[in-house]
Amino acid sequence: MSATESSARARDTLARNHRTGFSRAAQRHYDFTCPSPDSYPFQWAWDSSFHAIALTHVDTRRARDELRSLLSAATPTGFLPHMVLWQDDLRPRATEDFRIDLWEGWRSVTIAPPVVARAVERVYRATGDNLWLRRVLPPTLAFFGWLREHRTSPGTGLLEIYQPDESGLDSSPKYDGALGIEAAAEGAVRDAWHDAMRSLITAYSSPARTPETPLRARRLFVWNDVLVNTVYADGLACLARLMRTAGANGRAANGRTADRLAAESGAIGAALMRHCWDETTGAFHDLDLVAGKRDGILTAGSLLPVLLDSVPEPAARRVIEQHLLNEREFWRPHPVPSVAATEPSYDPGFRTGAIFRGSSWINLNWYLYWGLRRRGYRAEADTLAARSCALVAASDTTRECYGPEDAAGHGARSFGWSSLVLDLAAAPAASTEEG
Ligand code: GLC
């Protein structure tokens, strides 16, 4: 029942949030799904990647166009921005509403978690469209090369981010210490976070700034994020499979690229085990490279590496059994909270008004669903899919996030990536996530 209702909400959102037109600033046509008409009217990279996956269940033409539009914003150096502000009429307001530094006037200078590779693979598997693949694969590969070249920490081999929103987990309490806002009272967290972000962006800001401007040496915020690195390693594995598919069509060089990408994916998994795995807590923790320490807060991101084949089975089982399925921490009535319920910063009722501080998010549930499946927890995965659908069905429109204790909808309305329930509803019948 809730699968039918949640699918109806998802379809409605995908129809309502569709945006097409011509951007004078970018001199390109666009065709994408915005995260939310009121709150987020532009194209956001990881949102769009999730939208494309949801669209494979609704309209595969739109799924292909979504990613083509996104990838058309890549620069000649291979960089793919977090935000693409196509619409000329809405752009002037944007720098006030969103804390961003623009590059060439219409795209952000920051990155997002590279979900795009997983999305390209899913859309290709759903359509078998080789012509489309030949168009979107080169910029996707180029972006992964850009990340390796410009964002690898020399000491750990992991990708680094230079501001919290590059992980997409903007106000997660794990960043409070690095931003100097850990003492903010509950009612002041949101403003304190915005002030800290504004200072960071102002400090980075310069007319000469490009996506490649080196920021590590500034030591303002340098962070190895577990979620970003898991998505990156997963994306490398997706690209390796896609290159093997292309290799099967006759080119030996593609097979060699596939081997290299698979090895890189494995190396990121190994680096996560070496630097982020905490044998005491049985979970993964981010690294704050400025403070030179591991962050201690248990978040949904701490669980995500169970997705990766390169993470050994005993570690994955500990994460799942001690944390994900632990009713005191993450297996709450409406899982999965973005912060463990045992953390002092846990904010299930959205009292701070700040995101990723405890609410449940459908995109994180979606990754964890496939993680549970991959590790053989089929019944638990099905429960998570059903509860995610129930969450979305419980509000009158798709919401940005949901209360893990009471299923209340919070944040933006008609929110795009909650439409991933379409994939979760169809998933029990799918043999693998690549299928
Ligand atoms: C918020 C989220 C970010 C997302 C964006 C658009 O900034 O933190 O992850 O991409 O909204 O939905």
Residue 433 has pLDDT above 70, yes or no: no
Q: What number does the ligand 1 atom closest to the CA of 415 have?
A: 12
Distance 241 CA to ligand 1 centre (A): 28
- Written in H, E and C, the secondary structure of 18-40 is EEEEEECCCCEEEEEECCECCCE
Going by pLDDT thresholds of 50, 70 and 90, the confidence category of residue 210 is very high
40 in contact with ligand 1, CB cutoff 6 A: yes
Q: What number does the ligand 1 atom closest to the CA of 98 have?
A: 7
pLDDT in tens, 70-126: 999 999 999 999 999 999 999 887 766 666 777 788 999 999 999 999 999 999 999
Q: How far is CA 33 from CA 1, 26, 239, in A?
A: 26, 18, 24
Distance 400 CA to ligand 1 centre (A): 9
DSSP E strands, 99-238: 102-103, 107-108, 223-224
Q: Among 51, 83, 84, 170, which residue has the most ligand 1 atoms within 8 Å of its CB, making it the best to mutate?
A: 170
Residue 285 has pLDDT above 60, yes or no: yes
Going by pLDDT thresholds of 50, 70 and 90, the confidence category of residue 435 is very low
pLDDT in tens, 352-408: 999 999 999 999 999 999 999 999 999 999 999 999 999 999 999 999 999 999 999
Which is nearest to 33 in space by CA: 65, 8, 1, 79?
65
Distance 426 CA to ligand 1 centre (A): 25
Residue 249's pLDDT is what?
60
- Phi first, then psi: give them for residue 333, nearest 5 degrees: -55, -35
Contact between 286 and 301 under an 8 Å Cβ cutoff? The reply is yes
For residues 43-55, average pLDDT:
98
Residue 250's pLDDT is what?
57
Residue 32 has pLDDT above 60, yes or no: yes
Contact between 391 and 3 under an 8 Å Cβ cutoff? The reply is no
47 in contact with ligand 1, CB cutoff 6 A: yes
Percent of the chain whose predicted confidence (pLDDT) is above 70: 96
Distance 361 CA to ligand 1 centre (A): 11
Q: How far apart are CA 120 and CA 230, in angstroms?
A: 17
Q: Residue whose CA is closest, atom 9 of ligand 1?
A: 168
Going by pLDDT thresholds of 50, 70 and 90, the confidence category of residue 1 is low
pLDDT in tens, 122-151: 999 999 999 999 999 999 999 999 999 999
Report the 10 Å Cβ neighbour count for 225.
28
354 in contact with ligand 1, CB cutoff 6 A: no
Q: What is the pTM of this model?
A: 0.97
The tokens for 353 are 């008004």
